[in-house]
Structures are given as structure tokens and as C-alpha cells.
Chain A
């Protein structure tokens, strides 16, 4: 039972345009959400997070939106750059149960020139 789902295995975007990565979750106990970026042969690196008490968090070119009623979050990257090409993982945590993260299956983003 996949509690965190990323239904798009891949996404291709032109440089300078917006990249939108989506994530859905089923566990209503999740109250903290994160996005990680992963390059080949490296460990995942933290990108941005959002608490369930917020609906938006912004950090430079990256913005995460949370829609609790729909159990949906998205990551917007504007403008997209070739260096953004990587696998992006959505993760969620039930902070009342500790800090264990449940990950989605990832979306491969390719930013083309």
C-alpha cells in the first residue's frame, strides 16, 4: 500500500519554464512534508518542506503547495534550469510517531535547453 504516490515517473521541461511536480498521499496522519532531490550516484538532498499548518512555502525558485483536503502537494520550480535535472522525491511524516519519512517513488525531471 503506497501511502505517498508520485504518479508521473518523468517530466520534461524547457529551460526557463515552470516545472510542476505532483505528489498525493493517503495517510491523514501525515503532517509534515518534504521534497528531496537526487542526482545519480549521490544520496538524496533536502530541498524544501512544509508543515500541515501552512498551504505554501517558498524558497528562492522553489515553492511547495499543500492542499490538505485533497491530500495533495506540489513542487513548483521557476524558472527551471538544466542543473535542476534530477529525480525528485516527495516524502511525508507523521510527526506524532517520530521523524520517520515515507517516500514516494520519485519523478525524473529533465530540463532541456
Chain B
């Protein structure tokens, strides 16, 4: 089934540890995004990539990094996790402008 796959589904992480959230899409979409969802704040854009080889910063990029080596994969790395990064993370992808973004099922991350 075509779509976006995120891994892991959930994770408890000790503060200070490094963590990579994985995201893979098989729809050949050019653009990919990482959002975090927090209660009362909606979904906020962390980083995005308009095409393979390029990335950009979103609204809340601090503490996160991304790479886009190919069209399908867009991993999100927390170099040194902090409790404020406890959140639900959603990866999304889209094709050309004016089309909707498709979301993965999310990764629930708890930093303790």
C-alpha cells in the first residue's frame, strides 16, 4: 500500500541521547516535511525538503537536523534529546504546489 511509513511508532529516550526518527515514502513525492504536535499548539513545522538534496528550516528547527539523500527517505535526528522534545512527530510528503500533504502515522517520543 502506497504511503508514508514512520519508525519507530513510539520511543522512550533518556535525555542527552541521540535519536533518529525514520520516514520513508513510496509515492515519489518531491517535498517532505517533519512536524511536531503538542497539545494546544497544533502541528508545527520543524524542517522540510522541497526536493532530494535540499533542506530548509521550519518554525521550530532548534535541536533537530534532517537530511535528504534520496527522494524516498527523510530522517529526523535529535543530536542530544531534551525533555521539551517530548512530542508526537509526523512526517509528511507532497507533490507540486496546491496539493495536499500526506501524513505518516506518527512517532510518539518521550524524553525523560
Q: Which residues of A contact B (CB under 8 A)?
A: 4, 6, 9, 32, 34, 36, 41-46, 49, 51, 89, 91, 93, 95, 98-106
Q: A-B contact count, CB below 8 Å?
A: 65
Interfacial residues, chain B to chain A (CB-CB below 8 A): 4, 31, 33, 35, 40-45, 48, 50, 58-59, 90, 92, 94, 96-106
25 A-B interface contacts by CB (under 8 A):
A9-B40, A43-B4, A43-B92, A43-B103, A43-B106, A45-B103, A46-B100, A46-B102, A49-B100, A89-B42, A89-B43, A91-B43, A98-B50, A99-B31, A99-B50, A99-B96, A99-B97, A100-B33, A101-B43, A101-B101, A103-B42, A103-B43, A105-B40, A105-B41, A106-B42
A32 to B100, CA, bound (A): 10
Kindly provide the distance from the CB of A81 to the nearest chain B CB, expressed in whole angstroms. 22
A95 to B99: give the CA distance in the assembly, Å.
10
Option from A43, A98, A104 in Cβ contact (under 8 Å) with B31: A98
Selected from A44, A45, A46, A95, the residue in CB contact (under 8 A) with B43 is: A44
